[in-house]
Structure 1
Amino acid sequence: MINLQSHTKVAFAYFILAAVLGVLLRAFHSLAIPINYKFFVHTHSHIALLGWAYLALTTLLYKIFVQDAIVDKKYRHIFWFTQVTLLGMLLTFPFQGYALFSIMFSTLFLLASYWFFWFFRKHVKIEFRKSNAYSCVKVALWYLVISSLGPWALGAVMNIWGPESVWYRLAIYFYLHFLYNGWMLMAIYGLFFHLLEQLGIQLPQKTFKKFFISINLGILLTFFLSTLFAAPPGILYVLGGVGALFQLLALAVLFLFLIRNKGEWLSVLSKFQRDLLKTVGFLLVVKMVLQLLTAFPYFANLAVIYLDFTIGYLHGTFLGVVSISLFLFFDFFGLMRISKSGYWLYLTGFVITEALIFFRGIASWLRLSLFDGYYEALAVASLLIPLSFLFIVFGKQNLSTT
């Protein structure tokens, strides 16, 4: 059997690397660092999204829904091919940004994701095919494929309209929207429903159907919120707002079910796992509310003019909702014991950096001055995140390799 615990550590290694690059980028304002800032931003984002999050999610999905000695060899080929693409991006983006070789490795990564999509759909175990969890995971994988239309479109957009055009930004936002809100969040919902099923808790079909339809309508319609920077027709604000309301409705349906059945899962999860779950729930609500606010032109303009609000939102979703969910699943499903001290250090760094990012946005909005040492404080707070991963990865938490 494949040692999936080692795959988990590889995913964390990418997270540590992305976090170190984040510290480097934030120190750029205070120190004379001989790097191309834009190139390193590309490297940071690709390694975080495609190294950490993608690899962590696919490792969990393989372990839970597929893992079998018969197909291990096929999965191993996909895993190592994916590593070649990630390492290729890591070695090319810092030196050339978007250019021939970095684009080549990015394209190969898309092909690797299609390979995983085909492999997973073909080899998922029969007993899961009618589960609520698999319904979410299946649509998550479709969103992964749909998101890739954005990168494929970039070549044509750059040749016809150029990188400064509205269409260039739309292609990128299309990719990010369906990657974050489609692939990542739907995969997380699927893993969470499987967690409940492992505890013997099953959503009634009527409840799940209401959640499933609402969340997917929300994902599709909230894409229009990503177009508001272009000041589109008013109907798109309305459609985006309706999508945000659908997502809040789906969340309310899920939360009400969990509250009504809390006696069935509260006593089974450890206190630490419950803390992780509650934190994710709180951050999801914050994310959905912020998303709804951008359906109003005033707040949409704020997000466009003061990019720190957008950066804070994206980091909050990725470092908060997505990453803390992954900590919970790794801990619950036995791939890695998450160190409590490491996690609280991570959460401290996350909260402080989010506060500082939003503070800069608010200061720009209200025409206030930043306090002395702001950028140094942001860099030092950011340093807590890679340090926390060292506690998590190298602590005494090794469990079963399966």
Structure 2
Amino acid sequence: MGSFTLKSWFRVGLASLILVAFYGTVMRYKIAFSLPFLEQKNLLHAHSHFAFTGWISHCLYCGLALLITPYLLNRQQKKYGMLIALNMVSAVGMLVAFTLQGYKAVSISFSTLSIFTAVAFAVCFIADARNLPAGHAAKPWAVTGLLLNVLSSAGPFSLAYMMASKNISADFYLGSIYYYLHFQYNGWFFFGTMALAAPYLKQQLPSLNTYYKAFAITIIPTLFLSLLWAKLPSWLYVITVVAAIAQLMAWALLLIKGWKLIPQQLKTGTSNWIPIFFYTALIALTIKFILQAASAIPGLSQLVFGFRPIVIAYLHLVLLGAYSLFFIGLLLVNNFLHLTKTTRSGALLFLSGVALNELLLAIQGLAAFVYLPVPYINELLLAAAALLLISALMLTGAQLIKSRSLK
């Protein structure tokens, strides 16, 4: 699979980002005003599933294909293009099916297809990883991330079973959601992203594999941070707290050593505004690890994460502030995007939209503590969502215009 094909698939990811932002805007409009012919719960399922599969996972699959294909024969490379395409088919299918009917046979079928694609990609990559040079920095992160992606599928399968059988246990339903989110956000997304960053860090950071071991060992115990409400036994709670602290310490040490490496590892001639995306992603991940460790305090966890705006702020902090900004930076620094004035404006506008969205959600969440209404907060959140949509359109539009002019 040639670099041009991968570049095209990366740009398809930008089109996915438009759809993610569009659904976010529609949901914000429905909250601020009214849109009775669309069901909010169905929109939420469509938005979240497509964001995970059609945007984040799509970018990770493209990035991992970019890592492995230089070490494969042409005929061995083709399967990755097919799997990336199959993943996008499942993502679009879920987007349409969840919008129209919610959790029903069609949406569950496309969700199952995405899981089978995840398994197939993991099998292919792990088998081909033997062709990577010995000690390749990305290999352990990539393999672990792909395995955790497969492991997370138990969550959707259990949800689908409950929906189909109409035998729903509130605790089991909630536990399945948290299980899936944990192994996606803290597993597949984190390890997959680190796999893409690892080749840039390894040369200046020989101890990178030590950090990998710390995160790999603690990934399963930290799952229980999301399940403290289930009255864990004391010994398991202690293990969970130790794991959360260990992850925070490992990230802090990695951050201290890696922060100064960003300008050193970027290509000569890289525009001075591009590193902002990597620095912002690091800050977002740092906040994420701090909040994760703080959630080990049961009373604080129930108090803070019992407020919906704070939960939404946390999820968007990781999805948009960390991973999405990292991917945009990665596309820019690898010249997968044409660096035009519109590209620059769209990228920086997207970053501004992410910051504004997080700020407004934080204000809304903090105000909820003291039961203080925030005037026009829903309209302001709608404006932030619209800003993200406009910036995503600008990024994609700039690529289409430039590509046509080059032709």
Match of 1:66 among 69, 94, 119: 69
Q: What's 2:348 paired with?
A: 344
Q: What's 2:285 paired with?
A: 284
Kindly state the Cα deviation for residue 119 of structure 1 after the two structures are TM-superposed: 1.7
Are the equivalent residues in 2 in contact too, given 1:336–1:398 (CA < 8 A)?
no
Q: What's 1:294 paired with?
A: 295
Deviations 1:247-290 (A, max 9, x none): 12221232233357678447856523322221122111111111
Q: What's 1:362 paired with?
A: 366
Are the equivalent residues in 2 in contact too, given 1:238–1:295 (CA < 8 A)?
no
Q: What's 2:30 paired with?
A: 28
Distance 2:365 2:240 in 1: 23
Deviations 1:205-238 (A, max 9, x none): xx22431121123322211111124344454443
Are the equivalent residues in 2 in contact too, given 1:147–1:178 (CA < 8 A)?
yes
Q: Secondary structure at the match of 1:45?
A: helix
Q: Which amino acid aligns with 2:244?
A: A
- State yes or no: 1:169 paired with 2:174: yes
Kindly state the Cα deviation for residue 66 of structure 1 after the two structures are TM-superposed: 1.9
Distance 1:53 1:155 in 2: 22
- State yes or no: 1:192 paired with 2:197: yes
Q: Which amino acid aligns with 2:383?
A: V
The unaligned stretches of length 5 or more in structure 1 are none
- TM-score when normalising by structure 1: 0.90
Q: What's 1:392 paired with?
A: 395
Deviations 1:336-373 (A, max 9, x none): 246332122112111111111122221221111221x2
Kindly state the Cα deviation for residue 377 of structure 1 after the two structures are TM-superposed: 1.1
Q: Which amino acid aligns with 1:296?
A: I
Are the equivalent residues in 2 in contact too, given 1:287–1:313 (CA < 8 A)?
yes
Q: Which amino acid aligns with 1:18?
A: V
Distance 1:122 1:214 in 2: 25
* Change in 2 beyond 3 A, CA 1:234/1:310: farther
Q: How does 1:372-383 map onto structure 2 within 5 Å?
A: 373-383=376-386
Distance 1:65 1:46 in 2: 26
* Change in 2 beyond 3 A, CA 1:261/1:9: closer
Q: What's 2:132 paired with?
A: 127
Distance 2:123 2:394 in 1: 36
Are the equivalent residues in 2 in contact too, given 1:22–1:382 (CA < 8 A)?
yes
Distance 1:64 1:114 in 2: 18
* Change in 2 beyond 3 A, CA 1:378/1:155: closer
Q: What's 2:312 paired with?
A: 311
Q: How does 1:3-402 map onto structure 2 within 5 Å?
A: 3-33=5-35, 34-67=37-70, 68-124=73-129, 126-128=131-133, 130-158=135-163, 162-197=167-202, 201-204=203-206, 207-258=207-258, 264-265=264-265, 268=268, 270-337=271-338, 339-371=343-375, 373-395=376-398
Deviations 1:65-88 (A, max 9, x none): 225522233223223322322222
Number of equivalences: 394
Deviations 1:139-167 (A, max 9, x none): 11111111112122224455778335201
Distance 2:338 2:221 in 1: 38
Are the equivalent residues in 2 in contact too, given 1:157–1:167 (CA < 8 A)?
no
- TM-score when normalising by structure 2: 0.89
Overall identity of the aligned pairs, in %? 29
* Change in 2 beyond 3 A, CA 1:235/1:162: farther
Q: Secondary structure at the match of 2:183?
A: helix
Kindly state the Cα deviation for residue 39 of structure 1 after the two structures are TM-superposed: 0.4
Kindly state the Cα deviation for residue 193 of structure 1 after the two structures are TM-superposed: 1.1
* Change in 2 beyond 3 A, CA 1:214/1:191: same
Distance 2:163 2:398 in 1: 47
Q: Which amino acid aligns with 1:357?
A: L
* Change in 2 beyond 3 A, CA 1:292/1:388: same
Distance 1:187 1:272 in 2: 25
Distance 1:267 1:329 in 2: 11
Are the equivalent residues in 2 in contact too, given 1:237–1:297 (CA < 8 A)?
no
Relative contact order, CA 8 A, sep 6+: which one is greater? 1
Q: Which amino acid aligns with 1:42?
A: H
The unaligned stretches of length 5 or more in structure 2 are none
**Greater displacement, 94-103 / 156-165:** 156-165
* Change in 2 beyond 3 A, CA 1:153/1:10: same
Kindly state the Cα deviation for residue 129 of structure 1 after the two structures are TM-superposed: 5.0
Deviations 1:57-105 (A, max 9, x none): 1111101222552223322322332232222212211111001111011
Q: Secondary structure at the match of 1:375?
A: helix
Superposed CA RMSD: 2.5
